[in-house]
Chain A
């Protein structure tokens, strides 16, 4: 018998059908955090200031010191930055993401400040923007600027076009002027306790802004079309309109209270992780800070050296208790030999919970002016250059003297010590034969522990003359001229990235020079 059987039929409801979508929007509102746009601009300020200051320390230690041969991580085979083993992800992407992440938060703080009417943070956001974008362009060359950070906004783009480094600098100069004008109106920083750098002192922020202006002008001074002399002259001749740092108290220095979460980057790092197991001082650094006699005895040392460094305390490897540096870029074969008895970074000074982080200091301003005078971008000639130089050294010595208090034993650098230094073959302007090189070397020393500045400056001036070790095979024994665009940039924004690389004279590696560099200028690029 053929028949149709209905085996089962069923209809049921899970949940409520009567009001299928009632309260859906409320249910799907995140109860854990705040919607973007609903906060005051000050909510963005502290994470930007403190976290980027920590990152600054980390990057100066991890990259700048190694590339610039202040230190060399010769222990083990996993850290090979001094051999130019730098690539995508950790290194290229690391920097790109660092600048981008802070950049977007700064951009957002600017938006909020404009929207909610907070001119002090509006100006500060601009100053920070210049700090981050100039560094990003210095590291990579052309970068997205005009269309950056628009991906999260209406009508924005996920494939921003790149601006050349020159364009970026021109934009940044405009932003510095704009910020300076806002500072001139003496806006009020609403909660000064929040400001771990200047305690809400807007005049100090203004000095930082304009000192940064000098830094950027100096960076592009090799490009005659930028005509930096005129602007530099205008700045130093108009301290009322363009106040800059006048002493160390003005330094753009983030102070960490030392209590959680205001703990400095290396506040909980051990000596072994920080220096002794890997990052040793180099011959380059010892060579420029220690004076030896014809018998190779160490007769005089730069007073800053015992603050930033520490002699190897192990008597078996350093029986004469001397300053010794390892060879940056050494090969595997040389390693155990050159590494023996080498000096370390001064753990006591750097690995404190309240160790400060510096974006820019007064000494750098003096070095910028010394070079400008020497090269006749500003008036005064060599005599002025010498006096700016000496002021720069005094500032640098005073800055480190303050930190020397934490050294064991404590180190103080007196005015007399500086006089001695300025008269010694290490520090005497008059004894130096090549003034430009001398100034470059001295600036290198003064820029120790200040972000990536020494790395940028070396590519601009070629000083100090570095010895590129035989072991630097990972970039074919060529000093890294820039960092490459990370894979995510090249793959998700291919057309624009490719155009930028071509415009710079590519390829996307660490051999293509950046626009303001000595290599690009002398190569006619």
Chain B
């Protein structure tokens, strides 16, 4: 297969006459800036598969594929990726129809699959980047790896699909484990080494998870049906290793669309769950700090906010190395149900998610500008912020403290530059757990007798519906599911200018012919 890409653009920095858009409308002294890019890539493949069935019960599919990609170097450009999938119909194999009649259907499946992937063209050599000055060149901003290897995703999946009581109860269970090796990813490097980025084969990333779907019809009669659907999924994403020679203390950073000017990073450390949020936080009393209370008792206060004894103000530690949360939720799921009585159906859809945090730029900006009620307290008289003052520091780094009782010297500084400072990630990182009532619908199907009279219609129904009825969450602004959208990418770790949820109330008429 041959891929051929071409892009030609001409850019004018200024127009001669406003509002007239063609490339000749250029003022004196301005030169149109043309850009011409083309790329070629060839992938040749050999693909084969065999599909076998035995006794209408046992199935086996085997595939094999070899690709040769022009984007990789000699020695790396050929890669093979096979897959094997087996399944067995348990109800057939063990004749459940007679032996275990409650089971109406059961299928067990096991698969192993590999998918290989190359990289983009021209990633192996160093090429100059062009300059707006004709004949001018600059070194590229990335260092290529000429020996970069193709990516491979290997995955195992074990699944069980079972139906009971004449399909009144169903279960779909899947356990999976996948491992991505040699993923080709860009990483930031220190520009003093000669470039600001690099493409690497990122060791190994694993995803392990479980997905459960349950569906049931607890009641089914001529006039009344009740259906329930439930699903639940859990996934754990682990960074197992990075490229050889990578300092294990050094995190891998995931692009979240922004780092709020280097103040917030989504890092993954080797051997740990991926996508942990690090940023600024208020200064806190170090481990082992204590104060003496009124009764003369020594009280541990490590981790409490440190406030200045004279100003009563906390301070923001401006190093983006404070752990603030993790992006990935612990689990997520959905629930839907419908109740039908004769021609009337009432249905509802819920979704939920647990665990996971995100930084909210929206909250940061609104807060530090004082546009929210979170800066109301103490507006006129100041407040005595909760926390401790450091009296002295011990040799081991711990501190002798006293409980703060200083009124803030400036409530403006307290909120605007400290607690609610928009860059203070600690104050603007929130749980993304939620329970959403996504949709409710009441539908009435017109009687068949009536429909038939029209001779044209096959069916007709009328429904009232509402979406986004409520969301029960701790997210401060708008939608706990909102992220940053840049082009076609949605980044989950940071929310910036996400849209609020929109609620729709409507009526819906459905005619089928």
- On A, residues with C-beta under 8 Å from B are 2-17, 20-21, 23-25, 27-37, 39, 42-47, 50-51, 77, 87-90, 92-93, 96-97, 100-101, 103-105, 107-108, 143-144, 148-153, 156-160, 258-262, 268, 332-333, 353, 473-474, 476, 486-489, 491-495, 508
Is the CB–CB distance between A151 and B195 below 8 Å?
yes
Q: List 19 A-B contacts (CB under 8 A).
A: A6-B50, A13-B47, A14-B47, A17-B46, A20-B44, A25-B74, A28-B70, A33-B129, A36-B125, A36-B127, A42-B135, A45-B136, A87-B423, A90-B261, A103-B192, A104-B139, A144-B192, A152-B193, A158-B198
B128 sits at the interface (CB 8 A): yes
B residues less than 8 Å from A77 (CB atoms): 369, 416
Cross-chain contact B52 with A6 (CB below 8 angstroms) = yes
Partner of B192, one of A28, A42, A100, A268: A100
Per-residue contact bits, chain B 37-64, to A (CB 8 Å; 1 contact, 0 not): 1111111111111111111000100000
Q: Is B126 an interface residue (CB 8 A)?
A: yes
- The answer to whether B130 touches A33, judged by C-beta atoms less than 8 angstroms apart, is yes
Contact of A9 among B50, B54, B193, B261 (CB under 8 A): B50
Q: Is B68 an interface residue (CB 8 A)?
A: yes
Contacts A33-B130, A151-B194: A13 and B46 contacting too (C-beta < 8 A)?
yes
Contact size class for B?
Answer: 35 or more
Are B137 and A47 neighbours in the complex by a CB distance under 8 Å? yes
Residues of B within 8 A of A23 (CB): 42, 70
Are A89 and B139 closer than 8 Å at their CB atoms?
no
Q: Which residues of A contact B55 (CB under 8 A)?
A: 2-3
Of B31, B192, B369, the residue contacting A143 (CB under 8 A) is B192
Number of A-B contacts defined by CB within 8 Å: 255
User: What B residues does A29 contact at CB under 8 A?
Assistant: 122, 125
Q: Do A20 and B194 touch (CB < 8 A)?
A: no
Residues of A contacting B135 with CB < 8 Å? 42-43, 46
**Would B189 and A488 count as touching, CB distance under 8 A?**
yes
List, in ascending order, chain A residues with CB within 8 A of B137's CB: 34, 39, 43-44, 47
Question: Mask for B212-250, Cβ within 8 A of A = 1, else 0?
Answer: 000000000000000000000000000000000001011
Contacts of A36 in B (CB 8 A): 125-128, 139-140
Query: Does A28 contact B124, Cβ atoms closer than 8 Å?
Result: yes
Q: Which chain B residues (116-166) contact chain A, with CB distance < 8 Å?
A: 121-122, 124-133, 135-141, 143
Contact B191 A13 (CB under 8 A): no
B143 and A101 form a contact (CB under 8 A): no
A24–B77 CB distance below 8 A = yes
A120 to B490, CA, bound (A): 51
Given the interface contacts A44-B138, A108-B139, does A9 sit within 8 Å of B126 by beta carbon?
no
Bound CA span A3–B53, Å: 8
Q: Which residues of A contact B2 (CB under 8 A)?
A: 15
Residues of A within 8 A of B438 (CB): none
Q: Which of B42, B49, B121, B127 contacts A15 (CB 8 A)?
A: B42
- In this complex, which of A36, A89, A150, A491 has the most chain B Cβ atoms within 10 angstroms of its Cβ? A491
Considering the complex, which residues of chain B in the window 1-53 have a beta carbon less than 8 Å from any beta carbon of chain A? 1-2, 13-14, 29-31, 36-53
A261 lies within 8 A of B261 (CB): no
Complex Cα distance A148/B193, Å? 5
| For the complex of A and B, 3 pairs with smallest distance between CB atoms | A89-B262, A151-B193, A88-B262
Across the interface, do A473 and B192 meet the contact criterion of CB distance under 8 Å?
no
Give the CA-CA distance A9 to B60 in the complex, in Å: 12
State the Cβ distance, A112 to closest chain B Cβ, in Å: 10
Closest to B66 in A: A20
Interface flag for B190 (CB, 8 Å): yes
- Inter-chain contacts of A3 with B (CB < 8 A): 54-55
Contacts of A353 in B (CB 8 A): 29
Instruction: Tell whether B302 is near chain A: CB-to-CB under 8 Å.
Output: no
Give 15 new A-B contacts, CB below 8 A, not counting A11-B46, A87-B261, A491-B251. A6-B52, A9-B49, A15-B45, A17-B44, A27-B41, A29-B125, A33-B129, A34-B128, A89-B263, A104-B195, A151-B194, A151-B195, A158-B190, A488-B196, A494-B247
Give Cα A474 to B121, complex, Å. 46
In the bound complex, do residue B126 and residue A152 qualify as a contact, i.e. CB atoms below 8 Å apart? yes
- Name the CB-closest residue of B to A143: B192
| Contact partners of A103 in chain B: CB under 8 A | 192
Establish whether residues A488 and B188, one from each chain, have CB atoms under 8 Å apart when the complex forms: yes
**CB of B259 closer than 8 Å to a CB of A:** yes
Q: A21-B78, A24-B77 are in contact. Are A494 and B249 (CB under 8 A)?
A: yes
Q: Give Cα A2 to B319, complex, Å.
A: 70
Closest CB of chain B to A388's CB: distance in Å? 37
Expressed in whole angstroms, the minimum distance between the Cβ of B248 and any Cβ of chain A is: 11
A195 → chain B, closest Cβ, in Å?
13
A333 to B74, CA, bound (A): 67
Query: Which of B51, B68, B129, B417 is the one whose CB lies under 8 Å from A8?
Result: B51
A35 touches B125 (CB 8 A): yes
Decide yes or no: A488 and B190 within 8 Å by CB, A10-B48, A15-B44, A33-B129 being known contacts: yes
Q: How far is the CA of A32 from the CA of B40 in the complex (A)?
A: 11
Contact B193 A157 (CB under 8 A): yes
Shortest distance from the beta carbon of B252 to any chain A beta carbon, whole Å: 10
Q: How far is A77 from B251 in the complex, measured between Cα atoms in Å? A: 33
Residues of the B chain whose Cβ atoms lie less than 8 Å from the Cβ of A51: 131
Taking a contact as CB atoms under 8 Å apart, the answer to whether A50 and B133 are in contact is: yes
Tell me the bound Cα distance from A473 to B308 in angstroms. 13
Which of the residues B41, B131, B143, B263 comes within 8 Å of A87, measured between beta carbons?
B263
Beyond A27-B40, A33-B129, whether A160 also contacts B192 by CB under 8 A is yes
Given known pairs A88-B263, A97-B191, A148-B192, the reply for A13 and B45 (CB within 8 Å) is yes
Give, as a whole number of angstroms, the nearest-CB distance from A497 to chain B.
9
Contact residues in B for A493 (Cβ distance below 8 Å): 190
Q: Which residue of A lies closest to B187 (CB)?
A: A492
Q: Give A493 to B191 CA distance when docked, in angstroms.
A: 11
Interfacial chain B residues near A158, Cβ < 8 Å:
189-190, 193, 198
Q: Indicate whether B318 reaches chain A with its CB closer than 8 angstroms.
A: yes
Per-residue A-contact encoding for B366-377, CB less than 8 Å = 1, 0 else: 000100000000
Query: Contact partner of B188 among A144, A259, A333, A492, CB < 8 A?
Result: A492
Q: How far is the CA of A14 from the CA of B68 in the complex (A)?
A: 10
Q: Using A24-B77, A96-B191, A160-B192 as known contacts, say yes or no to A152 and B139 having CB atoms under 8 A apart.
A: yes
Query: Is there contact, CB below 8 Å, between A104 and B191?
Result: yes
The reply to whether A152 and B191 form a contact with Cβ atoms under 8 Å apart is no
Which residues from B are CB-within-8-Å of A11? 46-48
The answer to the question of B424 belonging to the interface, with a C-beta cut-off of 8 Å to chain A, is no
Residue of A nearest to B29 (CB): A259
Asked if B49 and A8 sit within 8 Å, CB to CB, the answer is: yes
Q: Considering the chains assembled together, what is the distance between the CA atoms of A326 and B291 in angstroms?
A: 45
In the bound complex, how far is the Cα of B252 from the Cα of A488, in angstroms?
Answer: 11
List the B residue with the shortest CB-CB distance to A267.
Answer: B29
Tell me the bound Cα distance from A149 to B253 in angstroms. Answer: 22
Query: B326 on the interface (CB 8 Å rule)?
Result: no
**Is B417 in contact with A46, judged by CB distance below 8 angstroms?**
no
**Chain A neighbourhood of B259, CB < 8 A:** 89
